[in-house]
Structure 1
Amino acid sequence: MASDPFAHPSSQSSSFTLVGVPRLEAFSTCLGILFCLAYIISLVGNGVVLLVLGLDTSLRLPVHGFLAMLAGIDLVMVTSVVPKMLGIFWLNSTEIGYTSCFVQMFLVHSTTSEESGVLLAMAVDRYVAICHPLRYQAILDRQTVAQIGLAILARGLLFMAPLTGMVTSLPYCRSHLVPHSYCEHVAVAKLACADPRPVGLYSVAGSSLIVGMDLAFISVSYGMILKTALRKKSCWKALSTCGCHLCVLLLYYVPGMVSIYVQQFGSSLSLQAQVLLADLYLALPTMLNPIIYSMRTRQIRRAVLRVFRSRKVHT
């Protein structure tokens, strides 16, 4: 008896097939090298930040807690995607299990929401430190920082739980070929034989709300910082810091939102450009965050030197 080609994955196939970057298969080795280098830099950079923040007892300010959260989220985000991408590019390991696909989807999209929340928290932290320095410790005490951290994690999980439920409940009776480098939720939902539009609309509405609110508060925070800095001698230093932070924010928010809107509403942008945009949106900020937010901070640079010097002495 012939198998039903429109059966649910659980009854016919327990996996999806990831394409990688469509129509760029000839450059898979080069793409793999680029993403491998980005992954190594992300691992080393964020790993060093976590190591130093954990070992150096002088780094216990609220901002250091947010930096640790950012580094941890970045490690989860990039590790949930890049190793599988390298398997696709270098080993032609394109198959991903049904459960693994949805776990990857959940991790990728929940961590992107959480990262946005941490970037907002860090902007607020800088606002309090610069505009209300005498009240910094009182406003951002240990309990408040813990509550902010829990709120960030809860928001990411609450945003992704319904979306994951919507995607997993769809009947996948068509091709299991995902034209992407990872299990991007819209690309997976489009493979269903049911209407995928509710998934896309929820994603667009939820992402727009989260990003819109976070960007609004971040803009207000940096606006107040610049207003205060213009009255002080540290004006150029503040402008330089804010400029670097804003560049990283643009690299994080713009590709992510463009990718979501393009996939939902269509565009003249080629498929390979859409996939590369989504890939860079995950890999590039995780590589730059430790450099821009941590290593440019004099206190952390000195702590890194202290930690590694003490290691040399003990060895």
Structure 2
Amino acid sequence: MATIFSPLRYPGGKSAIAPYLAALLRANNYSGRVFAEPFAGGAGAAVKLLYAAEAEHLALNDVDQAICDLWLAILGETEEFLKLLRDTPVTVEEWSKQRAIWEKPEHHELAARGFATFFLNRTNRSGILRGRPIGGLDQSGAYPITARYNKANLEKRILRLAKWKSRISISCLDALDFIEALAALPRPPFLFLDPPYVGQGRHLYMNAFGHEQHESLATWLRAHSRIPWVLTYDDHPIIHELYSWAHITQIPIRYSAQTKRKATELLILPPWVTVPTEEARPLCYS
């Protein structure tokens, strides 16, 4: 059975993980270095660390080409992306058009491909790209399709992110290939891994893991003790078994108002990483 530990003064909840990661970086003398995410997705925590000067550079990777297109469009074609954001109506009819672009990306330019992914993420329930729009196709739900789509706020966030583009690199590799490449560097970055989950993986992710991939990741991480990392997973017996050699704690998760439920996820650290003893204080952003 894995060692169950309690990070001191952990603020609680996955939404608060960025301050804890900052404390973890400081405890291991890794502040101001490269912070890498093999399963980046929206990379919310990583971006917060960059803004707070806790990470010097972000190396973001996602095997899903749609996610990579989103990042590349925001960072490389910002003005065209923002024009799409301003001009595109947020309706179920438009949702169908953007869904069609996302399903057949080869027929569209980068900005359109990236924006389609962005549109679906902001208008679908729980942000799941293959899901259905908030409120349903008939908009009979408690929340409308526009519930998470404040154009003014989203534009500000995109502009801010684009200002930091020189400190963000994007790749679209298999996660194990990505971390293998990082392991070869003279000064490996700090890894934050949030892989596809075991229980609901095939429902939530376009590139879900099978048991062999979960096992391969655990084997690789155990074998590379010179690389510091932190891992988050769903609280599943398979994960406790695979990481019986590591430190595990539970994170309380509160899901959206639409699902109205609570759950727990796992935070996993290797034995060679120092657990922070300082309080995970709020970040101060540049």
Structure (1 or 2) with the larger CA radius of gyration: 1
TM interval, short-chain normalised: under 0.3
- Normalising to structure 1: TM-score of the pair? 0.25
- Normalising to structure 2: TM-score of the pair? 0.27
